[in-house]
């Protein structure tokens, strides 16, 4: 019985490479049935703010799986990326991208005889990709970076399970917890807790800038790496460069109910319609999808045919030996079809899963909500962000007048650097300050009192934002200013 999946052809070169990949699937007798959905730039242009029709959304949610070509989000129209929106709306919390050296695809490392075989698992729905940004003043923009314990646990546990299935012995956590102590700190803390459940896998952590340096100098050190969203986005594209570019980088977005398999390269409008695009990234993504569906024999057959074709020197115009004629999209696909059943000399793929097979998906009746329980919370103060052109000492005198029997002003910062009660005359300022009020010893404060502080300050300043200062199980839930 054939499995039905949703297919979105994509924009630009998307329809051409999707047609080539599905033709290879058909030739390999893959047991899939396709239900095409309407998504992409033309649907933005038609007035669908999400870039997809209501029918497309219903189809994808009913089938639980989307195979999509590259898509373009119109620029300058205030709409969100359709790719990010799809991943977030359907909670595809883990982005898996596999990077390996391919015979016939020359890189600095292949020429040096250094094989690359590593997997990046990227948290896919949180971090700065919430897109929550505000201009607090005409000169100061801020964005919220959201890292949660449940979201971190989902992707980290997936990474450990993936590593175990692939036979990896090492998993590293990339982070910037030395600077972002609460957000990346929470991600790293979650990694370290979950690592205890996987004693068969050597876990380690590495600061992301050091990770990037090591990836371009000694990539063979790594087998699998899990990272937060933005850092994972950057590092996964870096790794694509190690193996020949995004044209050789498959991508899977895995959720508990809905998953998306896609090519992550661009739509290449300059060559769209010419039939010369390279379908390899979309084909490799499709092979990941087949393994996800349990069609591991077909996945191995197609991947071996692709590897054999590349070994024979057959290539599209974007890679390969420039002294030999390049194949167009259809000719490249024809060669892979003709080579079904062939085995490459190096890197033969066997029929084993990369994923836990998802035979069905749930249709929940309400949104899932995950909350930590039995946590003791204590309110200890407030940070009030205000717009002002005053000097720090002037600001402090005005602010101290707003102190109450329960609160005292303890710090003022500008761009995260303390400027009162101590600071430096060489610290350059912008017109947005943070005033930190903390409760006095022996007092108990309420949320209403905190908001009264902000209301009182609004008589003299424009209040841009208010953040409560909290302790959770006795541990402070806020950071100190630089120099505090």
pLDDT tens by residue, 87-112: 988 999 999 999 999 989 999 999 99
Considering only 34-38, 80-84, 147-151, which range has the smallest mean pLDDT? 80-84
Distance CA 314, CA 310 (A): 6
The pLDDT score that the predictor gives to residue 77 is 58
pLDDT in tens, 389-436: 999 999 999 999 888 888 999 999 999 999 999 999 999 999 999 999
Count Cα neighbours of 158 within 13 Å in the Cβ-side half-sphere. 27
Helix-helix angle 296-311:14-27, to 10 degrees: 110
Write the burial class of residue 324 (CB in 10 Å: 0-12 exposed, 13-18 middle, 19+ buried). exposed
472 strand-pairing partners:
377, 475
pLDDT in tens, 443-459: 889 999 999 999 999 99
The pLDDT score that the predictor gives to residue 72 is 87
Q: Retrieve residue 8's tokens.
A: 């979105």
The pLDDT score that the predictor gives to residue 221 is 95
For the chain, first and last CA: distance in Å? 66
What is the percentage of the chain residues whose pLDDT exceeds 70? Answer: 98
pLDDT in tens, 348-377: 998 888 887 765 567 788 888 888 888 999
Is residue 310 very low, low, confident or very high in pLDDT (cuts 50, 70, 90)?
A: very high
The pLDDT score that the predictor gives to residue 361 is 65
β-strand pairing of 432-439 with 259-263: unpaired
Q: Which residues have a Cβ under 8 Å from the Cβ of 311 and sit 6 or more positions away? A: 103, 104, 344, 345, 346
Classified as helix, coil or strand, 388 is: coil
């Amino acid at each position: 019985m054939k499995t039905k999946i949703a297919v979105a052809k994509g924009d630009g070169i998307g329809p051409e490479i999707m047609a080539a990949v599905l033709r290879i699937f058909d030739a390999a007798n893959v047991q899939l049935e396709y239900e095409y959905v309407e998504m992409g730039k033309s649907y933005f242009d038609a007035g669908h703010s999400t870039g997809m029709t209501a029918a497309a959304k219903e189809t994808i949610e009913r089938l639980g799986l989307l195979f999509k070509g590259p898509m373009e989000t119109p620029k300058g129209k205030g709409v969100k990326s359709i790719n990010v929106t799809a991943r977030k709306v359907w909670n595809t919390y883990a982005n898996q991208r596999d990077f390996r050296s391919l015979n016939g695809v020359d890189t600095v490392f292949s020429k040096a005889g250094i094989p690359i075989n590593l997997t990046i698992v990227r948290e896919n729905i949180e971090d700065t990709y919430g897109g929550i940004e505000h201009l607090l003043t005409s000169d100061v923009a801020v964005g919220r970076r959201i890292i949660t314990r449940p979201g971190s646990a989902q992707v980290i546990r997936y990474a450990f399970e993936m590593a175990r299935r692939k036979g990896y012995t090492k998993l590293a956590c990339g982070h910037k917890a030395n600077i972002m102590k609460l957000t990346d700190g929470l991600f790293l803390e979650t990694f370290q807790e979950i690592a205890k459940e996987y004693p068969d896998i050597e876990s380690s952590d590495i600061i992301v800038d050091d990770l990037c340096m090591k990836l371009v100098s000694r990539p063979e050190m790594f087998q699998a790496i899990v990272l937060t969203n933005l850092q994972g986005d950057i590092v996964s594209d870096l790794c694509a460069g190690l193996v020949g570019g995004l044209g050789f980088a498959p991508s899977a977005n895995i959720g508990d109910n809905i998953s998306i398999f896609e090519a992550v390269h661009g739509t290449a409008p300059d060559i769209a319609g010419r039939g010369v695009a390279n379908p390899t990234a979309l084909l490799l993504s499709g092979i990941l999808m087949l393994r996800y569906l349990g069609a591991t024999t077909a996945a191995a057959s197609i991947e071996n045919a692709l590897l054999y074709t590349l070994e024979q020197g057959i290539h599209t115009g974007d890679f390969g030996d420039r002294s030999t004629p390049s194949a167009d999209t259809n000719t490249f696909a024809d060669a892979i079809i003709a080579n079904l059943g062939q085995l490459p000399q190096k890197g033969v793929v066997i029929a084993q899963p990369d994923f836990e097979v998802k035979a069905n998906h749930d249709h929940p009746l309400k949104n899932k909500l995950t909350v930590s329980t039995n946590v003791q919370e204590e309110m200890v103060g407030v940070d009030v962000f205000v717009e002002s052109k005053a000097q720090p000492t002037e600001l402090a005198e005005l602010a101290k007048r707003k102190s109450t029997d329960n609160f005292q002003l303890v710090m003022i910062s500008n761009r995260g650097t303390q400027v009162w009660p101590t600071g430096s005359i060489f610290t350059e300022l912008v017109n947005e300050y943070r005033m930190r009020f903390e409760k006095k010893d022996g007092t108990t404060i309420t949320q209403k009192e905190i908001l009264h502080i902000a209301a009182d300050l609004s008589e003299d300043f424009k209040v841009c934002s208010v953040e409560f200062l909290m302790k959770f199980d006795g541990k402070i839930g806020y950071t100190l200013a630089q120099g505090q």
